[in-house]
Every structure is written in structure tokens, then in C-alpha cells.
Amino acid sequence: MDMRKLLAQQLKRFVTAGLVLCSGSIAAFAQPGTRPDTALDLTQCVDYALKHQPFINQAVLNVAITRTTNSIALAGWLPQVNLSANLTHYITLPTNFIRNGTTGTTTQQKTGVINTFVPVLGVTQTIFNPALLYAKKSAPLYIKEARQVTDSVKIGIVAGVSKTFYGLLLTLEQINVLKEDTARLARNMNDTYHQYVSGIVDETDYDEARISLNNSRFQLKQAIENVLPQYAVLKQAMGYPPLSDFNVLYDTTRMMQEIGFDTTLQLQFDRRIEFQTLQTQKRLQQQQIGYYQKAWLPTVGAFFDYDYTFQNNSFGQLFSQAYPYSFLGLSLNLPIFTGLSRVNNVKRSRLEADLLDYGEFTLKSQIYTEYTTALATYKSNLFNLTISRDNVSLARRTYDIVSLQYQQGVVPYLNVITAESNLITSEISYQTALYQVLSSKIDLEKSMGFITVPQ
């Protein structure tokens, strides 16, 4: 009788601990240890990430940097204005030789003044320049390439946040299942204890019930502890402040409605942002080839100089009198021979274009591999979800029957343990299968280029 009193006390302690654990898991469901006021669903998490994720902000800055770089490259089309000045003091004046046309004799003479100061205002205007023409044609392509890189980053963020969100939800749903399992096992242990006290079953059945409850409690505790680090991973993917908290909102029914995907759709390479970026790079390479082919064209420009000259032998009187003059004209620079650099530049650019062609072949092969892998994974996960759903119904029905048979003394408690184990395994497998389908659908949409981002 003393042993049974001890078992009764242990039973009370187990049940109480189980209730405390279950109630604690409700707080852990959202954000363990906190009471955040913010609740975000998947769409809101993705929208937040597209605005605050550091990688996206860096990509957006790269677009701005590209625009500024283009402005710098195109600045040569605008007039270039420079101001320069020279102050000269002759220690010895230069000597000029003057020939007398009448006598035919030549005399030498010192010319100039000792002190001169010449400020010069110079203006140049490019009329035609092959390098500036290339910069003008390629500028829109560089901006397009930078935007495509930004879109690629955004697509990766959308896929990453979505899959991380689903991973967190999987843990939360498993907590639901484990809470139900823990409560069910607590009831089983309670029933087994009363049957043991009544002499219907022996002590080993009660011990087995305690072991099952302990194992379930451990799994529940482990799942609860995993919530916080998974929230941290989701925050990192979103660019969310690590010390700020939020809850996640989700509708399982709606997610079940969104698992479908038309697997008969054909793969189109040009939908992938990586393929689009490569095509832009190939166009840029063709622009570069064209530039080097036209590098023999002359550079034509106009210039205007205004010189405001001060001259005087006395430094103190240097600025007493000015002698201004100005001129304008045209300049032409024609490269005749540049050491074969133009020919070699054309050759190198064509070789680089060949590299891009090989890169396109490799990229298509990579995209096709990603697509076939994602499609096969999605199909198998979808089939697994169907099987898992049926297994849950069968396992629950089997557990109810076996549990009733045990209460009637028809089957041993080992059958209850087996049925309970099959039930919890099938329920967790079903939740895992559901989120595997959602995750593999994200991979399939990404591989086919169906994930779009706002501009």
C-alpha cells in the first residue's frame, strides 16, 4: 500500500509538471520570454525583408553607384572649363637674332620683360570621341545589369524568407502535435495507474506509461527550445532587429490551398533572372567589341583660350598694365599606329564574348538541373503528403481501437504504446510533409523564374 501511495504522489507530480509545460509552450509559441505586439504573416515578412534586408539595400546602392559612374563617364560630353596661371621671373632674358633685310647682317637682342603673370581661362568642347560614344551607348545596359542583379538578390531573399518562415511553422505545428500527445499520454498514465491500483494490470504497464510520457515531454521541451533560434534565423533573413520581437501568423487551411502547382508548365530559360543578366552582359560585350573596332576614328573637339597677360620689368608694377588676348579653334587627334593595341583589344573582346557563350550553355544546364530536381522533389513531397494524411487517419483510428481494447483488458499495454508511437509519428510526418511541399514549391517556382519582385 505504501508503494501505491508513492506511485500516486509521482502521478500527481507528473501530471502537474505536464500541465505547466503545456501552458508554458503557449508563450513559447510566439516569442519565448516576451510579449511582442507585432504579428506578421508570410507576405508581411517578405515585404519587410524587401525593404530592410541589408543585402537588398547594398544591391540598391550598387544601382545608384552605377548611375553615378555613368554620369562620370558621360561628363566628357559637357564643356570642360579650366583656369590656370603662370608667374615667371626671368633671371636672364631670352636672346633673339634679328636679320637686317637691307644689309643682310644679323644682330642679337634681348627680348621680353623680366616679370610676367599669365592667367588663362581655357574652354574645350568634345565634338566627337569614340570612347564617349561607347559610354553613352553602354550606360543604359550597365544600369539594366545593376537592376537585374538587384532583382536576383530580391528573388533569393523572397525564397529564403519563405522557406525559413515555413521551417518555423513546422516547429510550431509539431509543438501542437506534441502537446496533444503529452496530454493524451498523461491521461493514459492516469488510467493505467487506476487500473494498477485496482489490480487489473501490473506495475510494468504503469512504468511503460511513465516512460512514454517522459519521452513525449522531452520532445515537447526540445521543440519549444528550438523556436527561439528559428525566430533568430527568420529575423536574420528578414533584416529584422535581433532584439525586437514579433509573432507569426499563419492559416493552415490557406496553406493547404496553396500547395498546388501546374507541373505541366514548360521551363523557359529567359524567365530566369540569371539568364536575363547574362544576355545583358553579352550585349555589353558586343558594345565593347564595336568600340574597339571604331577606335581608329579621330577625336574632334573645339577650344577657346582667353589669356590676360601682365608684363613689367618691375615686379612692383607687374599688375599695373594688362595685355589680354584670346583665340579659338578646332582640334583633331587621329590614331595612326598604336602598337597593334586596337587589334589585340578587338581580339580579346571577341574571346571574352566566346566565354559568355560558353557561360550561357553552362547556365542553361544548371537551370535545367535545378528545375528537374525541384520538380521531382515537389512531386515526391506532394505524394508523401497524401500518404501521410491517410496514415494519420489510420493511426488515429487504430489508436482509438487499441486504447479501448486495452481498457477492456483484451490487449496488453505494449499494443497501446505501439499505436501511440505510430500516431505521433504519423502526425509529425504529416506536418513535415506539408511544409516540405510548400518549401519544394518555392524551389520549383524559383527554378522556373516564377518568383517576381516589385520594381
Residue 12 pLDDT:
43
What is the C-alpha separation between 244 and 236, in angstroms, rounded? 12
State the CATH class of domain 80-127+299-333: mainly beta
Residue 23 pLDDT:
35
Residue 77 pLDDT:
93
In the 3-class helix/strand/coil scheme, how is the chain assigned residue by residue?
CHHHHHHHHHHHHHHHHHHHHHHHHHHHHHCCCCCCCCEECHHHHHHHHHHHCHHHHHHHHHHHHHHHHHHHHHHHHCCEEEEEEEEEECCCCCEEEEECCCCCCEEEEECCCCEEEEEEEEEEEEEECHHHHHHHHHHHHHHHHHHHHHHHHHHHHHHHHHHHHHHHHHHHHHHHHHHHHHHHHHHHHHHHHHHHHCCCCCHHHHHHHHHHHHHHHHHHHHHHHHHHHHHHHHHHHHCCCCCCCCEECCCHHHHHHCCCCCCCCCCCHHHCHHHHHHHHHHHHHHHHHHHHHCCCCCEEEEEEEEEEEEEECCHHHHHHCEEEEEEEEEEEECCCCCCCHHHHHHHHHHHHHHHHHHHHHHHHHHHHHHHHHHHHHHHHHHHHHHHHHHHHHHHHHHHHHHHHHHHCCCCCHHHHHHHHHHHHHHHHHHHHHHHHHHHHHHHHHHHCCCCCCCC
- Residues belonging to the chain: 455
Quick one: fold of 2-78+129-298+337-447? Answer: Outer membrane efflux proteins (OEP) (1.20.1600)
Cα end-to-end distance, the chain, whole Å:
76
- Per residue in 265-295, is it b (16+ CB within 10 Å) or e — as a string? eebebeebbebbbbbbbebbbbbbbbbbbeb
Q: Following CA atoms 65, 67, 68, 73 in sequence, which dihedral angle do they give, to the nearest 10 degrees?
A: 120
Question: 411: alpha, beta or left, given left = phi > 0 and alpha = psi -120 to 50?
Answer: beta
CB 406 within 8 A of CB 416: yes
Sign of CA dihedral 159, 163, 164, 165: positive
What is the C-alpha separation between 274 and 283, in angstroms, rounded? 14
What is the C-alpha separation between 201 and 186, in angstroms, rounded? 17
CB 59 within 8 A of CB 139: no
| C-alpha closest to that of 234 among 171, 153, 294 | 171
The residues with which 327 forms a beta bridge, in sequence order, are: 305
Segments making up each domain of the chain, as ranges? 2-78+129-298+337-447, 80-127+299-333
Residue 11 pLDDT:
40
| C-alpha closest to that of 10 among 152, 228, 207, 256 | 207
- CA distances to 127, 212, 352 from 345, rounded to whole Å, are 24, 76, 10
pLDDT tens string for the chain (455 positions)?
444 444 344 444 433 334 333 333 333 345 555 556 688 999 999 999 999 999 999 999 999 999 999 999 999 999 999 999 999 999 888 888 888 777 778 888 888 889 999 999 999 999 999 999 999 999 999 999 999 999 999 999 999 999 999 999 999 988 988 898 888 878 878 877 776 676 766 777 777 778 888 888 888 898 899 899 999 999 999 999 998 889 998 887 888 888 889 989 999 999 999 999 999 999 999 999 999 998 889 999 999 999 999 998 888 888 888 999 999 999 999 988 888 888 999 999 999 999 999 999 999 999 999 999 999 999 999 999 999 999 999 999 998 898 888 878 788 878 888 888 888 889 999 989 999 999 999 999 999 999 988 76
Sign of CA dihedral 41, 42, 47, 49: positive
Confidence (pTM): 0.80
